[in-house]
């Protein structure tokens, strides 16, 4: 499991993972992502008191377009329903929850920088109010018309950890762009 | 130290049974239903043509969701008699955002689909009211409205904001109409929540937005709150992409968690607005969850998806609005479409409007992916 690491201007004191995947459909992408993230979800954790959030600006988009496109080609009456569940933006978070058995709050935030900020704040609140004892945030930038690969970054936070994230200037490094190109804030368990 | 009380001071809706909450409540309480056949769906080749759409709401095709959200938000702000401060938090939920954009992109239109995501609704509200506070765009499908209200609750209690706009919007989606229909989840004739003859959902659309603030602020402004948002309970089945856990344990956990956070005993719940999508499995799981949590003392249960259709991401927001209207009126509305109790599910819904004192209501909302939410609402009493 990754330990603390520095990525340019971004310093984390919590388990973290990041990487890139080839352009695949969303279901296949999530299969690969589950393999990549498995170390980050290593037990122990309390399944019912752990949260999982996906942050993405385009989760479900490729599947939605493909589903409707297929339907137009073959006719509505015989369109295959197999792809339909993947057209929902929250399908990715559901897939991850099933893979790793995370049964607490399940969030999907739509957008880029602001969405990541929302996810961090939600995790901070959930830890602060003792609704959870652990949480993961997985940011996914799915491959599509404007990007050749799927980029992902993920972190795990628990009661004993804190995440200190700093505002950065535009960062051209593809991997860190997901997390770094945002206004971020301290995520520290509060004492009050 | 007790958490700050967070109240709703304004509500705006756009629904197939009314473009204002008073009208919506009047129709639902009178037992009206919005579903009808739509000729355009037949022309486009849909096998199932019945849906609950807002025929009187005109908006550009690719921005219908945004316009629904704005309509609702403006009404909420107006009712609150507030000028939203710059640091107002905006929390908006939806399932698909502007579904029509994805459909058009599939048909060849060159669109940047990120401009039509759930986030586009949030951006529109921030721009319309010139807001610079925290914002969340929540894409948790059929539970999104509850999630948005929960996010506002946290932000207000933490003191990060002084005012919030929260809710959800979902324009009618041909993509969802096809998907649910081809997945055999859609009723060909009517949505019958918890009914013995239930055979699926019907699709709807709409929006509901809420103005929220801390009770002390509302009092300072001299505004009488409409209701109190007390707690949100969440869980995830982590079981299946679409089907819920058969035993309803995930749904029960969300409800139990909500009550624990609210510090409310099950026996103090006066009314449950069920998710009640009308599908065989989901209703059965929810019925079991409710029966087991309330251990034989089930309070009155109603569901509005028979009347309004399933507005997906907007459903729980519209139903929260109905909960508040019902709490204020002291009336549990009838469950349109529920005529014969399912002996296997063992959950009876109110078929006529039930007048009785109401203090605490639960608003259940369960989504694909086993995402479960339960919002606790309380009639405002100072």
State the smallest CA–CA distance between residue A183 and chain B in angstroms.
11
Q: Which of B71, B142, B323, B374 is the catalytic position?
A: B142
The answer to whether B323 is a known catalytic residue is no
Burial state string for B283-316 with b = 16 or more CB within 10 A and e = fewer than 16: bbbbbbbbbbbbeeebbbbbbbbbbbbbbbbbbb
Say if CB B34 and CB B56 are below 8 A apart.
no
State the smallest CA–CA distance between residue B141 and chain A in angstroms.
7
Q: Which of A106, A124, A187 to mutate to test the interface with B (most CBs of B within 10 A)?
A: A106
State the smallest CA–CA distance between residue A82 and chain B in angstroms.
8
The answer to whether B275 is a known catalytic residue is yes
Nearest to A79 among B182, B261, B368 (CB): B182
Whether B96 and A87 lie within 8 Å, measured CB to CB: yes
In terms of Cβ atoms closer than 10 Å to its own Cβ (0-12, 13-18, 19+), residue A172 is exposed
Q: Which of B71, B191, B310, B323 is the catalytic position?
A: B310
DSSP B175-194: HHHHHHHHTT-B-SS---TT
Whether A68 and B178 lie within 8 Å, measured CB to CB: yes
**The tokens of A112 are what?**
């880029």
Q: Is the pTM of this model over 0.80?
A: yes
Whether B102 and A89 lie within 8 Å, measured CB to CB: no
Per-residue pLDDT of chain B (382 residues; tens, 9 = 90+): 789 999 999 999 999 999 999 999 999 999 999 999 999 999 999 999 999 999 999 999 999 999 999 999 999 999 999 999 999 999 999 999 999 999 999 999 999 999 999 999 999 999 999 999 999 999 999 999 999 999 999 999 999 999 999 999 999 999 999 999 999 999 999 999 999 999 999 999 999 999 999 999 999 999 999 999 999 999 999 999 999 999 999 999 999 999 999 999 999 999 999 999 999 999 999 999 999 999 989 999 999 999 999 999 999 999 999 999 999 999 999 999 999 999 988 899 999 999 999 999 999 999 999 999 999 999 998 7
Which ranges constitute the DSSP H helices of chain B?
Answer: 21-29, 39-43, 64-80, 99-106, 118-128, 144-157, 174-182, 215-221, 249-262, 280-294, 305-308, 315-329
CA atoms of B354 and B11, how far apart (whole Å): 23
A47 to chain B: which residues are within 8 Å by CB?
238
A77 to chain B: which residues are within 8 Å by CB?
45, 47
B233 to chain A: which residues are within 8 Å by CB?
none
Q: Which of B71, B191, B275, B349 is the catalytic position?
A: B275
Complex-level ipTM: 0.97
């Amino acid at each position: 499991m990754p330990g603390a690491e520095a990525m340019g201007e971004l310093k984390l004191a919590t388990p973290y993972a990041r990487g890139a995947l080839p352009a695949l459909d969303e279901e296949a992408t999530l299969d690969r992502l589950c393999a990549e993230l498995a170390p980050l979800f290593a037990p122990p954790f309390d399944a019912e008191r752990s949260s999982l959030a996906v942050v993405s600006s385009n989760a479900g988009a490729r599947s939605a377009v493909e589903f409707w496109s297929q339907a137009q080609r073959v006719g509505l009456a015989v369109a295959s329903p197999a792809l339909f569940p993947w057209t929902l933006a929250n399908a990715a978070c559901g897939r991850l929850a099933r893979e790793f058995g995370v049964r607490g709050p399940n969030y999907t935030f739509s957008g880029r920088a602001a969405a990541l900020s929302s996810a961090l704040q939600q995790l901070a609140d959930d830890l602060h109010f003792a609704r959870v004892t652990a949480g993961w945030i997985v940011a996914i930038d799915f491959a599509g018309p404007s990007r050749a690969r799927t980029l992902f970054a993920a972190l795990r936070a628990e009661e004993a950890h804190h995440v200190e994230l700093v505002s950065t200037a535009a960062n051209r490094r593809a991997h860190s762009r997901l997390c770094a190109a945002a206004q971020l804030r301290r995520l520290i368990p509060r004492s009050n | 130290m007790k958490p700050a009380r967070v109240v709703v001071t304004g509500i705006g809706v756009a629904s197939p049974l009314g473009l204002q909450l008073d009208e919506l409540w009047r129709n639902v309480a009178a037992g009206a239903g919005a579903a009808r056949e739509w000729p355009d769906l037949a022309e486009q080749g849909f096998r199932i043509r019945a849906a609950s759409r807002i025929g009187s709401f005109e908006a550009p095709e690719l921005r219908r969701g945004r316009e629904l959200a704005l309509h609702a938000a403006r009404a909420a702000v107006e009712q609150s008699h507030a000028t939203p401060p710059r640091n107002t938090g905006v929390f908006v939920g939806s399932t698909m955002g502007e579904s029509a954009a994805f459909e058009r992109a599939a048909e060849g239109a060159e669109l940047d689909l990120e401009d039509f995501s759930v986030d586009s609704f949030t951006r529109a509200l921030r721009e319309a009211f010139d807001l610079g506070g925290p914002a969340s765009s929540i894409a948790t499908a059929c539970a999104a409205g509850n999630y948005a209200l929960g996010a506002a609750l946290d932000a207000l209690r933490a003191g990060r904001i002084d005012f919030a706009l929260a809710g959800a919007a979902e324009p009618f989606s041909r993509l969802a109409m096809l998907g649910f229909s081809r997945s055999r989840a859609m009723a060909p004739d009517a949505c019958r929540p918890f009914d013995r003859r239930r055979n699926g959902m019907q699709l709807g659309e709409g929006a509901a937005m809420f103005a929220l603030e801390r009770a002390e602020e509302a009092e300072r402004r001299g505004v009488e709150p409409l209701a109190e948002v007390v707690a949100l309970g969440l869980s995830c089945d982590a079981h299946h992409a679409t089907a819920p856990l058969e035993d309803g344990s995930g749904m029960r956990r969300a409800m139990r968690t909500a009550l624990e956070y609210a510090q409310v005993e099950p026996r103090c719940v006066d009314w449950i607005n069920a998710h009640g999508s009308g599908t065989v499995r989901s209703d059965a799981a929810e019925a079991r969850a409710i029966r087991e949590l309330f251990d034989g003392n089930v309070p009155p249960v109603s569901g509005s998806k028979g009347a309004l259709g399933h507005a997906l991401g907007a459903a729980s927001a519209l139903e929260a609005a109905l909960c508040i209207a019902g709490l204020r009126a002291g009336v549990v509305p009838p469950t349109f479409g529920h005529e014969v109790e399912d002996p296997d599910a063992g959950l009876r819904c109110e078929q006529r409007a039930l007048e009785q004192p109401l203090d605490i209501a639960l608003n259940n909302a369960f989504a694909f992916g086993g995402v479960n939410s339960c919002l606790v609402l309380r009639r405002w009493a100072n």
